[in-house]
Amino acid sequence: MTEHNIVIGSRGSRLAVIQSEMVRDFIREKKPGCQVEILTMKTTGDKILDRTLEKIGGKGLFVKELDKALRDGCSDLSVHSLKDMPMELSEELPLLAFSKREDPRDVLVLPEGAEKWDRTLPVGCSSQRRMLQLKELYPDVTFLPVRGNIQTRLQKLQSGAYGALILAAAGLKRLGLENRIYRYFEPDEIIPAAGQGILAVQGRKGEDYAFLKAYNDPAAQTAQAAERAFVKYLNGGCSSPIAAYAEMKNGKLLLRGLYYQEATGIYKKGQIEGNPEDAETMGMLLAEGLKKECHAQSCTAVKEDDIKPGKVWLVGAGPSDPGLFTLKGKRVLQKAEVVVYDALAGQAILSMIPEDAEKINVGKRASHHLMPQEEINKILVKKALEGKRVVRLKGGDPFLFGRGGEELELLKAHQIPYEVVPGVTSAIAVPAYNGIPVTHRDFCSSLHIITGHKKKGDTYDIDFEALVRTKGTLVFLMGVTALADICDGLLKAGMRADMPAAILQQGTTAGQKRISATVSTLPEEVQKQGIQTPAIIVVGEVCALADRFAWHEALPLAGRKILVTRLKELISQMAEKLRREGAEVLELPAIKTEAISENQKLKQSMEAIQSYDWIVFTSPTGVRVFFEKLTEHEADIRKLAAAKFAVIGSGSEKELKKHGILADLKPEIFDGEHLGSSLARACTGGERILIPRAETANQELILELQKVPDVQIDDVPTYRTLYESSELIDQKAEFEQGKIDFAVFTSASTVRGFAQAAKGLDFSLVRAVCIGKQTKRAADELGMQTWMSEKATMDSVLDKVKELCRKQF
């Protein structure tokens, strides 16, 4: 490639050339005077048209020749439809940019001139992905393979061999054939192929393609990352019946996916919503979930002799802050069947362990071990030989004084497969949270991590003189009880007495504390001020920067530990808001919900669904269960056209929007009484109102509505609330020991769930911040110290917590 001459490699079809011309025109605009040519070639996939792709090698056949031209220097760029790209790409030929996405939908095309779809003829389609999903919509259709470019397929359609074709809207639109589209299939009807509608520009590693920066569309790049991660995790190819489609909605990334289990013919669809920056992780998580669902459905009982060895993951949990737990670690943990965990794994991370996993506490902290290391090794082997997915969850990193190597020795001897998931080590994270950079070019250029642990009665096998000569930062882990010996050893080895030093207690948690001194004075200062384990010792010039660079302790809620109770099925936004302000959050499920299965009253309401004037939701769960039951009872959603919708607050409103419905009414104050009075004012009399909600619900809403003349109210229980408790966290002890500053409650039901989980607790010890008056009333009845947020929103609750902390509660 030269500054004035660029060659674009392209497949020879008319569509491929048009797509390459789009990139060519962009480059010409950005690089005036540059000669941009298109080199067309026929790929193996274009030549073999009498067999389906899976029989001739998959999507790689569409890029093989283009890749060779790039490597040989015959071309400088290749332009591809991203959906045709294999999941495994050569590092030598990276994808450089992604186009703005064209219409990603699949469409139905009829013969030219036809006004009606003749379903007695087969549908031309070679994609199992499309076939599976079209069968859901039209069980009576049959299929006949069709290959070739779009024009070739349209010619075959016109010959009368097919009643219709399924094609991609993007290709038809780029060819100017949009008028041939008879029917669009929305992504919730037929999930598109990963990357459908996106063009990918490929080049050679190490060359300057800065001129393509403006061509790249960030939304398309994010979407393809999620979609391709989903397919890659499932080892899907172009002809594999796997689909993925991601789109931005209200600032969140929504990913839909389909997974097909070829051995059984079972397939599952699902979706996940999250932050765009987590696109790849979302793809993997959704893939795992759907694969697990298919596996669970297809599993049959096996004889004990048939059970194959499972697998062990050594997972580093980091220093306690859940934000420092790696994405891979979290993903592996959430799939575990057995978890063998240390005391040094933070409470927030222990709360992530699946409810149905077997949990084995091996305790290891300082000199207090519940179980010797040899016994831990045997447990890992035993559980793996039972065919289980075993996670060995270790504080910090598995290989940094974590004896992970010893555990692997026995696994290797028994030929048990394993993986290691590194963790963020406290040796770096804890100093960082205290404003101490472990290296700084003005002070030192090396870091040395040393175990401060030694057996009772033994002397240190540490070359203190060598450590002093490095002039680097020294971090001693597990050395609190031997602090005096460590400082003495450094001084005797020639370290100057005024060398800055610090001991850092319980870093990244609410118990974080720093004692700064010098090597000669640190033991004395610790004696005066006291220290708790776990703690690390840092020695070096960089310790002098702590006061200047400290940041975590400046956060509004630093040093505060707050309990957040939540619905088991939901990830708590409240917890995340508190963590951003510096709090350590203990997030525990207090309740879970389950739909009422045999529900005659709901069935009757579904049968008469079109007769309701208002449908009222008092919780996001109520919305979710209602629409699940609507589908279960095969009630056509169009029957809701005459109804208006009322919601109690923003959460229910947001959940309703997911179904394409905007609320007609939401009270200014989010509680049952104000919802009822607002709705009563909107009624004129004689209305029929459906309220699908929890089995046990507040009656204030009903009392207000009964003031409307001749109103007919169907108060239908659709789900029940069950109380939860944690096997791993003793909530009662946390409050009795004064470790919790505040408990945050976002519903009355979570207050009751907490009370069930902490039976025997003197509730006057609980300082409760409540989201509304019903929640506060439930906490008051238990004798808690209570405060209520100004508004029934999470941000208002956060403001109240910060206000109370400023008052030094």
- Average pLDDT, integer, range 574-578: 90
pLDDT at 43 over 70: no
Q: Which CATH class is domain 597-723?
A: alpha beta
Look at residue 52 in the predicted model and tell me its pLDDT.
42
When pLDDT is cut at 50, 70 and 90, the band that residue 80 belongs to is: very high
Look at residue 571 in the predicted model and tell me its pLDDT.
58
Q: Name the percent of the chain in helix, strand, coil, to the closest 5.
A: 40, 25, 40
pLDDT at 239 over 60: no
pLDDT at 365 over 70: no
- Average pLDDT, integer, range 733-740: 92
User: What DSSP string describes 389-415?
Assistant: EEEEEESB-TTSSS-HHHHHHHHHHTT
Look at residue 454 in the predicted model and tell me its pLDDT.
65
Q: Does domain 1-101+195-215 have CATH number 3.40.190.10?
A: yes
Please identify which residue in the block is written with the tokens 């439930």: 778
Strands 561-567 and 742-745: parallel
What kind of fold does domain 427-554 have according to CATH?
3.30.950
Look at residue 362 in the predicted model and tell me its pLDDT.
87
Angstrom distance (rounded) from CA 737 to CA 735:
5
Lowest mean pLDDT among 286-300, 318-332, 540-554, 572-586: 286-300
Equal CATH topology for 1-101+195-215 and 106-185: yes
Strands 164-168 and 106-109: antiparallel
pLDDT at 50 over 50: no
pLDDT, tens digit, for every residue of 244-298? 999 999 999 999 999 988 767 788 999 999 999 999 989 988 998 898 888 777 6
pLDDT, tens digit, for every residue of 149-192? 899 999 999 999 899 999 999 999 999 999 999 999 999 999 99
Tell me the CA distances in angstroms from 216 to 25, 97, 201, one per residue in order: 14, 5, 9
When pLDDT is cut at 50, 70 and 90, the band that residue 366 belongs to is: very low
Active site residue 671: no
Active site residue 568: no
SS3 of residue 279 by DSSP: helix
Structure tokens at 504: 């850092």
pLDDT at 413 over 90: no
Angstrom distance (rounded) from CA 451 to CA 364:
15
- Average pLDDT, integer, range 121-136: 91
pLDDT at 102 over 70: yes
When pLDDT is cut at 50, 70 and 90, the band that residue 51 belongs to is: very low
Picking from 586, 589, 591, 557, the residue whose alpha carbon sits closest to that of residue 766 is 586
Q: Which helix (H) or strand (E) holds 315?
A: strand 311-316
When pLDDT is cut at 50, 70 and 90, the band that residue 587 belongs to is: confident
Look at residue 568 in the predicted model and tell me its pLDDT.
56
- Give the residues across from 284 on adjacent strands: none
Look at residue 302 in the predicted model and tell me its pLDDT.
35
Mean pLDDT for all residues in the chain: 88
Structure tokens at 106: 């699949």
Look at residue 298 in the predicted model and tell me its pLDDT.
64
- CATH assignment of 304-424, given 3.90.76.10, 3.40.1010.10, 3.40.50.300, 3.30.830.10? 3.40.1010.10
Angstrom distance (rounded) from CA 255 to CA 258:
10
Share of the chain above pLDDT 70, in %: 92
- Average pLDDT, integer, range 513-542: 95
Look at residue 62 in the predicted model and tell me its pLDDT.
60
Q: Which CATH class is domain 106-185?
A: alpha beta
* More reliable by pLDDT, 421 or 59: 421
When pLDDT is cut at 50, 70 and 90, the band that residue 570 belongs to is: low
Structure tokens at 256: 């839909």
Q: What is the dihedral of CA 682, 688, 689, 692, to 10 degrees?
A: -170
pLDDT at 765 over 90: yes
Catalytic residue, candidates 364, 388, 629, 800: 364
Q: Which helix (H) or strand (E) holds 712?
A: strand 712-723
CB 769 within 8 A of CB 800: yes
pLDDT, tens digit, for every residue of 529-554? 999 989 999 999 999 999 999 999 99
For residue 104, whether the previous peptide bond is cis, meaning omega lies within 30 degrees of 0, is no
pLDDT, tens digit, for every residue of 415-440? 889 999 999 999 999 999 999 999 99
pLDDT at 789 over 50: yes
- CATH assignment of 561-593+725-806, given 3.40.605.10, 3.40.50.300, 3.40.50.170, 3.40.50.10090? 3.40.50.10090
pLDDT at 110 over 60: yes
Domain extent listing, the chain: 1-101+195-215, 106-185, 304-424, 427-554, 561-593+725-806, 597-723
User: What DSSP string describes 444-458?
Assistant: BS-EEEEE----TTP
Catalytic residue, candidates 76, 103, 106, 342: 342
When pLDDT is cut at 50, 70 and 90, the band that residue 730 belongs to is: confident
